[in-house]
Amino acid sequence: MVGRVWPRQGHGGWPLNSVVRCHLAKVESPVELLRPSQEHLAEYVRALQQGWTPNHTGGPELAKKELAEIEKDPADFVARQIDREAAGPPIVLPDGSTVPRLPGYRLWIWDGEFCGAIGFRWKPGTTALPPYTLGHIGYSVVPWKRQRGYATAALGLMLPHAREEGLEYVEVTTDVENLPSQKVILANGGVLIEQFVKPPQYGGKQGLRYRIRTERGK
């Protein structure tokens, strides 16, 4: 089937009508990456209420936090999902410490229904990341949409966005025991560059770091 990237806004250097197609035999229906909107916010809320979280390190507390933010000001929550200027508050890490925010944004994985989220962050002018940042891209698919190739499609669709920011490659990390995520990365051309120990803020667990070229064939 064919996956599509959401048309980007002609604002802040974002090109208009940007469409990337991803052909994956295992994807059961068209997959898109949508700019978060109030139109689809109710489905995002339902996913949080059913125990899904957009960040695997956040756990149930992150879901509660986001539900509270949405209830307080849904328009502000949606607007903050796109933060190319890193204007938002510091990032709270799993151990409760805070670190400066990087430019980034979160898009919603969509097949006619909400399927999950994928985030991209970067440091302008370099492919390097601060040591507390575990990769350029992170993704999370809701449990009832898994094993359909959606994470693989979403990661592939995000790569052109990274290339437009000047990145020749992105780094993606995962846990040693997370075989499904490793398959997603490998399916997108990921190359294992190291097994490493995560920073203390993440519990010091073993992790795998992959590198993916943002332009296929190079």
Given phi > 0 = left and psi -120 to 50 = alpha, else beta, which region is 203? left
* Structural domain count, the chain: 1
Q: pLDDT tens track of the chain, all 218 residues? A: 334 343 333 333 333 333 334 444 444 458 999 999 999 999 999 999 999 999 887 788 899 999 999 999 999 999 999 999 999 999 988 888 999 999 999 999 999 999 999 999 999 999 999 999 999 999 999 999 999 999 999 999 999 999 999 999 999 999 999 999 999 999 999 999 999 999 998 988 999 999 999 986 45
Helix (H, G, I), strand (E, B) or coil at 5: strand
Does residue 59 lie in a domain region? Answer: yes
d(CA 32, CA 27): 12
Yes or no: say if 201 and 93 are a contact pair by the CB < 8 Å rule: yes
Backbone angles phi, psi at 145, to 5 degrees: -120, 10
Per-residue burial over 14-40, b if 16 or more Cβ lie within 10 Å, else e, is: beeebeeebebeebeeebbbbbbeeeb
Does residue 49 lie in a domain region? Answer: yes
CATH of residue 118's domain is 3.40.630
Say what the pLDDT of residue 29 is: 52
Does residue 99 lie in a domain region? Answer: yes
* This prediction's pTM: 0.85
Helix (H, G, I), strand (E, B) or coil at 11: coil
Say what the pLDDT of residue 55 is: 87
Say what the pLDDT of residue 8 is: 39
- The range of the structural domain enclosing residue 118 comes to 2-168
Burial of 150 (0-12, 13-18, 19+ CB in 10 A): buried
Say what the pLDDT of residue 59 is: 81
Please count the other Cβ atoms lying within 10 Å of the Cβ belonging to residue 172: 24
Burial of 58 (0-12, 13-18, 19+ CB in 10 A): middle
Does residue 139 lie in a domain region? Answer: yes
- Give Cα 50 distance to the centre of its chain: 20
